[in-house]
Structure 1
Amino acid sequence: MLHPVGGACPLAAPQGRTLGDVPRPADRPLPLLPAALLAAAGGGLSAAAFPGLGWWPLAPVGVAALVLAVAGQRPRRAALLGLLHGWAFFVPLLQWSGVYVGALPWLALATLCALFHVLLAALLPRALRAPWGLAPLAVAGTWVAVEALRARVPFGGFPWGRLAFSQADAPTLGLASLGGSPLVSFAVALSGALLALAVTTLARRGRLVQLPDVRLPSRGTGGRATRAAAAAAALAVAAMGAGALLPRPVDASEGTAQVAAVQGNTPEPGLDFNAERRAVLDNHARATLELAREVRAGRAPQPELVLWPENSSDIDPLLNPDAAAVISRAVEAVDAPTLVGAVLQGPGEGLSNAGIVWRPGTGPTERYVKQRPAPFGEYMPYRSFFRIFSDKVDLVRQDFVAGTSTSLLPMGPALVGDIICFEVLFDDLAREAVAAGADLLVVQTNSATFGTSNMAPQQLAMSRLRAVETGRSVVHVSTVGISALITPDGVAHQSTELLTSAVLQGELPLRSGLTFAVRHGLAVELFLCGVGVLLLLAARRRPRAAAVASGPPVAVDLDVPAVRA
C-alpha cells in the first residue's frame, strides 16, 4: 500500500491534540526506589536544618528533594513517598519526645505528623501542573496550607517542625515581621520549588532525567537551558534572602527595662523532676537571693522585674503557706516584682499552669493562665483508649484546664505578655498579647522532661521568631535551660547552658507599635493558603502516557516521502 507524499498518515493523536503534545517516553516520573531514596533524603536534610545541627540552608534543599521525588507520580505513590519523607523528617526532629517515655510515644507522634506530609506529597504533583508558570507558587502555597492544617488539628494542632522554625539564623527570619511563620515557610518552600526546577532543567539538557511537570521554558540551545536554570536558582536565593532587606528595629520607643531571668535548675532532669518540687522552688529562691546579695554589694544592677520559669513552684503557693513564704522572702530581698511559674489547684478537679506576679510587700497579684495546655503532656485526651497502647498515659494524673483570656501583667516599667512553653508554637497568642498592649514578652518554659535533647534549642528558635514577628523583646526563661534575652531583631543574648543554674541580666528595649504580622498575620496566612488552593484547582489534568491510543483518531498530515507497506 502506497501513501503519496503529503498524504494522510494513519498515525493519530487524541482529539484536540497533536503528536507534539503527547509526553515523550523519557518524560516519566522517577522509578519507585530512587524516588523513595530521594524523598527520605529530603526529610533527613530538612531535619538537619533545625536547631541541633542548625544547617538552615538545607531547608529548601529538603523541599526540592521531595518535589523532585513526587513529580509526575500518581497520588497513591506520591502519598507513599510523602510518608517516607515525613518519617525521615519527624523521627529525628521529635527525638526529644521519647527521651524519658520510650520509643512508642515518640514514634506515634512522628507518624501522626508524617501523615500530614502524606497529604502534602499527594497534592504536590498537581501543584506542579499549575498554569501560567506558577508551579513554584503553587508548591509554596500548598506547603503553607498543610502546615496551617497541622497547626490546628488534631487536639488543637501541633505545628512543631514548620519550615519557619528552622530559620532563626537565616536572613529569611526578617520576613516574620510581615507575615509571621507562614510567610517564612512560604519563602523556604518557594526557594525549594525553584531549586527543583533549576536542577531538572540542567538535567534535561544533559539528558540525565526528564521529569514531567518540573520544567522551565527553555527550548532551543543548551545555553538557553543553562540561563533558565541559573535564573531559577537566582530566584531561589532571592526568596531566601529577601528578609535581609527588611529592617529589624531595636529602638526603645517606650524606654527600657532592667530584667533578670532566673534559671534555678532541677535536682535531676526527667519525668520525676516534680517529685522534688520543693527542691526546684528552693533552687529558684536561692538564685534570686544570691542576685539580691550581688545587687546590695554593687556587683549587679537593681532589676526592675524578675522572671522565673514555668514550674518554678509546682507547689501551689496560694494554698501552701510554706511555699508562699519561700517566694515572698526571695521577692522581698530582690525588691522587684517577680513572675512565678506555678501550678495551681483548680478550677474544679483540674489544675492550672499559671504565671503569677508576686510583688514586694503585697504578695500574689495578677496572673495569666496557660490557654493551650499540651495534649498528652498536661491533659490526656481519650485516656482509656490510649492506655491500650501505653500505661504512660497515667503519668498525667490530673488534667490541666485551659485559661480563657490573654492577661497583660504590669511589672515595673513593662507591660508583660506571658506565653507558657507549648504556646510559643502558635501564631495567635503572641500577636494577641502585643495587640492588647504588651511591650515585652516572656516565654516561661520547663525543659527538664527532655534532658539534653534538641528540644530546648528548637524552642528557643521559636521565641526568636516571635521577637521579629511582634517587634518585641522576648525573655525566654527555662528551669534547666536554654534561657536567653532576645532583642526585637531576633538575636539571643547570654544564652545559658543546659542543666545549670544561672541568672541573666540585661536592659531590654520596650517598644510600642504593631508590625504588619501582628495586625494582619492571619490574613497573610489565609492569602498564602488561598494561593495554593486556587492554583491546585486551576492545575491541568494529569497527562496520560498512553494518550496516543485514547480518543477518536484525528488525521495528522506529515510531509513524508512515499513508502511501500
Structure 2
Amino acid sequence: MVLRPLLPAFGLAAVGGALLTASFEPVALPWLLPLGVACYAFATRDLTVRRSGLVGLVFGVVFYFSHIAWMKDSVGPDAWLALATVEALFYGLLGLAVPLLRRLPAWPLWLAAAWTTMETVRSGWPFSGMPWGRLAFAAIDTPAAPAVAYVGMTGLSFLLALSGFCLARLAEAALAREHRRVSAAAVVGVLALLVTPAVVAYDVPETGSTTVAVVQGDVPGPGNDILWDHEQVTRNHVDATVRLVADADAGRLPHPDFVLWPENSTAVDPFEPGQVNAGIREAVAAAGVPVMVGGIVDDGPKHVLNQGIVWDPRTGPGDRYTKHHPVPYGEYIPFRDIWDPKFGQLALISRDMKSGTRTEPLRVAGVWVGDAICFDVAYDDVMPPQVRDGAELLTVQTSNASFIFTHQIEQQFAITRLRAIEAGRWLAVASTNGRSGVIAPDGHVVASAEPRTTSVLVEEVGLSTALTPAMRLGAWPSRMFTLLTLSALVSGAVTYRRRQEFDGPAQVDPAVEPPAPSPTPSEAPVV
C-alpha cells in the first residue's frame, strides 16, 4: 500500500473537528455535521492503524477543546485541559479502528456503529464520563430532531454518523470515477430515515394536565458565583414565590398546582434551622401547594447530596431526587483517600458529593414527575428510566450560574429540548439565573425567561403515561451497536492482517527510481 503523507490528513482532520464544533451552539449550523464526520472518514483513509489513530486524535483535539471552551473561563483552564484531553483521546481510539473497519463491505455502517459505541463509552467513563458533544445533541431545530422519539439519542447519533460516512463514501466513489448508484442510494436512504419522522411525528396522547410555576430567582452580585450571597439567592426565590401567589390571587396569573425551584436555590442544608429553612417554609405556606426545592443536603462530615426536595405545605419535606452524576473535580474529588488536593479551585471542594440512584419518579401534587439536576439531563440513565417507571411530566433543576457568561447554557438547553421530544413529555426547566423555560413534547419552547433576571413562568402542561418507541427501546440500541462494533472489529482485524500478508511491503513512490543493480561476475559482458 502507498503510505499517505500525514500533514494533509492532519489538516483535514482539523477542518472536520472545526465543522463539527460549528454544528453545535453557539454557531448552531447542524447541516455542517455530516461534512465534519465525512472529513473524519477522509482524513483517516488509507492509513495504517497508528497513523489513523494520530489523525483521529487531531480531530478530537480540535473538536472537543473548542466545543467545551466554556470550561476554561467558568471552571478553570486546568479542568478544561484535563477533560478535553481525555475526551479527545476517544476520537483517537476510534481512529485506530478505522483501518480495520474500512476493510469490510458497507464500511460506513460499521464505522457509524463504532462512532456511536465510542460516544456511549466516553459518556459514562472514566468516572461519570462526559456526554457533551454527542452527535444527537446538535439535531434540535432540524428535520432530524423528531427521529429521537423513535430511536433515542443513541439511535439518532448513529443515523447522523451514518449520513456523514455515506457522504464520504459517495465522494470517494466520485473521485475514483466508480459506479456511484449504490453510494447515492445509501445517502438518500439515510436522509429519508432522518427526515421521515418530521412528517410522521410520534404523538403521545395526553391523559390530563397540571399547572406548574417555574421560578428563576436570579443570583446577586457578579451573577456567576452562587456562593457570593447564597442566603440572598434563597430569599430571591422566596420573594418571587410570594409575589406569584399575590398575582394569582389578584387574577393576573393562574394558580399553580406546584412550584419548581432550581438547583442551588439553597446552597446550605435546607433542613437545618435558620434563615434558609424559615424562608422555604414561608414560601411553601404562601403558595399552599408543593414546592420542589433544589438544595445541598449534609450527609455526614465528608459528604453532601445535591437534591430536589418535594416540600408540601401540610406534611413538609417528602420525596427527594438525588443528582446521579456529580461532576468529578467539580463536585467531588475521585480517589480522595489517595490524593487530596489543596490548591486552586479544588481546595474549595471540602466534601465529596455522593451520587443518587433513584429511578422512580417523584410524587408532586398528585403527579408523577421525573426529575434531573443540571448535567444529569445529558445522561441516558436518568430521565428515560423515570419515564418508563411512570413519569407523566419532566422537570430539570439547574443552576448554571458558573456558566452564565458562556455558551454552555445554550448547549444544555438544546439537550433538554431533545429530551422532551425523546420522552414525548412536557418538560419544565428552572434555573437560578440561566435559561428557565417550559418545553412542549415536540421540543417547542412555550415560555422562557431571560438570563440574569427574576422571572416566574406559569403554564398549564399536559400529562402522559404512554411511551415513545425510544423509551421502549431503552438501552438496547447501545447494546446492539456495541455488539456490532465488536463483531466488526474482529472481522476487520482478520481481513486487515490477511491483506498485510498478501500485499507485501509498502510500495515505493514511483517518482523515486531505484538504482540499477550492479552485474554479478557471471553476468559481466565478455570483452
> Which residue of the partner structure matches residue 73 of structure 1?
47
Mapped partners of 2:51, 2:505: distance in 1: 24
- Counterpart pick for 2:172 among 182, 188, 200: 200
1:477 matched to 2:430? The reply is yes
Letter in 2 for 1:121: G
Aligned runs of 1:318-333 on 2, under 5 Å?
318-333=271-286
Give the deviation of 1:276 after TM superposition. 1.0
1:87 matched to 2:61? The reply is yes
Letter in 1 for 2:136: A
Letter in 1 for 2:334: P
Letter in 1 for 2:25: P
Aligned runs of 1:95-114 on 2, under 5 Å?
95-114=69-88
Q: TM-score, normalised by structure 2?
A: 0.90
Counterpart secondary structure, 2:52: helix
Letter in 2 for 1:125: P
Mapped partners of 2:127, 2:223: distance in 1: 25
Preserved contact between residue 205 and residue 464 of structure 2 (Cα < 8 Å) = yes
> Which residue of the partner structure matches residue 400 of structure 1?
353
- Describe the superposition over 1:357-395 as per-residue Cα deviations: whole angstroms up to 9, x where unpaired: 112243322222222222111111134877779632112
Preserved contact between residue 373 and residue 400 of structure 1 (Cα < 8 Å) = yes
- Counterpart pick for 2:201 among 237, 247, 250: 247
Preserved contact between residue 97 and residue 106 of structure 1 (Cα < 8 Å) = yes
- Describe the superposition over 1:60-79 as per-residue Cα deviations: whole angstroms up to 9, x where unpaired: 21110000000111111111
Mapped partners of 2:127, 2:502: distance in 1: 45
- Counterpart pick for 1:277 among 230, 240, 262: 230
Aligned runs of 1:47-446 on 2, under 5 Å?
47-131=21-105, 134-205=106-177, 218=178, 224-225=179-180, 227=181, 230-249=184-203, 251-252=205-206, 254-269=207-222, 272-383=225-336, 391-446=344-399
Aligned CA distance change for structure 1 residues 258 and 179 (closer, same or farther; 3 Å): same
Counterpart secondary structure, 2:317: strand
- Describe the superposition over 1:261-316 as per-residue Cα deviations: whole angstroms up to 9, x where unpaired: 11111013566421311011011111112211211111111111110000001122
Mapped partners of 2:457, 2:51: distance in 1: 52
Mapped partners of 2:454, 2:7: distance in 1: 50
After superposition, the CA RMSD in angstroms is: 2.3
Letter in 2 for 1:547: D
Aligned CA distance change for structure 1 residues 307 and 536 (closer, same or farther; 3 Å): same
Letter in 2 for 1:240: L
Preserved contact between residue 159 and residue 425 of structure 1 (Cα < 8 Å) = yes
Q: More displaced, 61-70 or 28-37?
A: 28-37
Counterpart secondary structure, 1:275: coil
Identity %: 38
Give structure 1 stretches of 5+ with no counterpart.
Answer: 1-22, 206-217, 219-223, 551-565
Mapped partners of 2:132, 2:185: distance in 1: 33
Aligned CA distance change for structure 1 residues 401 and 329 (closer, same or farther; 3 Å): same
Preserved contact between residue 263 and residue 295 of structure 2 (Cα < 8 Å) = yes
> Which residue of the partner structure matches residue 405 of structure 2?
452
Mapped partners of 2:56, 2:479: distance in 1: 24
Preserved contact between residue 204 and residue 466 of structure 2 (Cα < 8 Å) = no
Letter in 2 for 1:327: I
Aligned CA distance change for structure 1 residues 388 and 420 (closer, same or farther; 3 Å): closer
Aligned CA distance change for structure 1 residues 522 and 229 (closer, same or farther; 3 Å): closer
> Which residue of the partner structure matches residue 418 of structure 2?
465
Counterpart secondary structure, 1:503: strand
Letter in 2 for 1:247: A
Mapped partners of 2:261, 2:3: distance in 1: 55
- Counterpart pick for 1:37 among 8, 11, 17: 11
Q: Count how many residue pairs are aligned between Structure 1 and Structure 2.
A: 503
Q: More displaced, 328-337 or 60-69?
A: 328-337
Aligned CA distance change for structure 1 residues 248 and 497 (closer, same or farther; 3 Å): farther
Preserved contact between residue 74 and residue 406 of structure 2 (Cα < 8 Å) = no
Aligned CA distance change for structure 1 residues 160 and 471 (closer, same or farther; 3 Å): same
Preserved contact between residue 269 and residue 450 of structure 1 (Cα < 8 Å) = no
The structure with the larger Rg is 1
Aligned CA distance change for structure 1 residues 390 and 126 (closer, same or farther; 3 Å): farther
Aligned runs of 1:495-506 on 2, under 5 Å?
495-506=448-459
Give the deviation of 1:516 after TM superposition. 2.5
Mapped partners of 1:389, 1:190: distance in 2: 46
Mapped partners of 2:104, 2:198: distance in 1: 29
Mapped partners of 1:418, 1:246: distance in 2: 29
Letter in 1 for 2:446: H
Q: More displaced, 490-499 or 444-453?
A: 490-499
Aligned runs of 1:546-565 on 2, under 5 Å?
547=503
Preserved contact between residue 179 and residue 525 of structure 1 (Cα < 8 Å) = no
More relative contact order, 1 or 2 (CA 8 Å, 6+ apart): 1
Give the deviation of 1:546 after TM superposition. 8.8
Counterpart secondary structure, 1:434: helix
Preserved contact between residue 172 and residue 187 of structure 1 (Cα < 8 Å) = no
Letter in 1 for 2:73: V
Give the deviation of 1:101 after TM superposition. 3.8
Aligned CA distance change for structure 1 residues 141 and 245 (closer, same or farther; 3 Å): farther
Mapped partners of 1:246, 1:530: distance in 2: 30
Q: TM-score, normalised by structure 1?
A: 0.84
Give the deviation of 1:356 after TM superposition. 0.9
Counterpart secondary structure, 1:81: helix
Counterpart secondary structure, 1:488: coil
Counterpart secondary structure, 1:273: coil
Aligned CA distance change for structure 1 residues 158 and 381 (closer, same or farther; 3 Å): same
Preserved contact between residue 305 and residue 337 of structure 1 (Cα < 8 Å) = yes
Mapped partners of 2:6, 2:491: distance in 1: 28
Aligned CA distance change for structure 1 residues 371 and 65 (closer, same or farther; 3 Å): same
- Describe the superposition over 1:121-180 as per-residue Cα deviations: whole angstroms up to 9, x where unpaired: 11122222213xx21110110001111111221002211111111112222222322332
1:516 matched to 2:472? The reply is no
Give structure 2 stretches of 5+ with no counterpart.
Answer: 507-527
Give the deviation of 1:199 after TM superposition. 1.4
Preserved contact between residue 86 and residue 114 of structure 1 (Cα < 8 Å) = yes
Aligned CA distance change for structure 1 residues 75 and 196 (closer, same or farther; 3 Å): same
Preserved contact between residue 248 and residue 468 of structure 1 (Cα < 8 Å) = no
Counterpart secondary structure, 2:459: strand
Mapped partners of 1:239, 1:422: distance in 2: 29
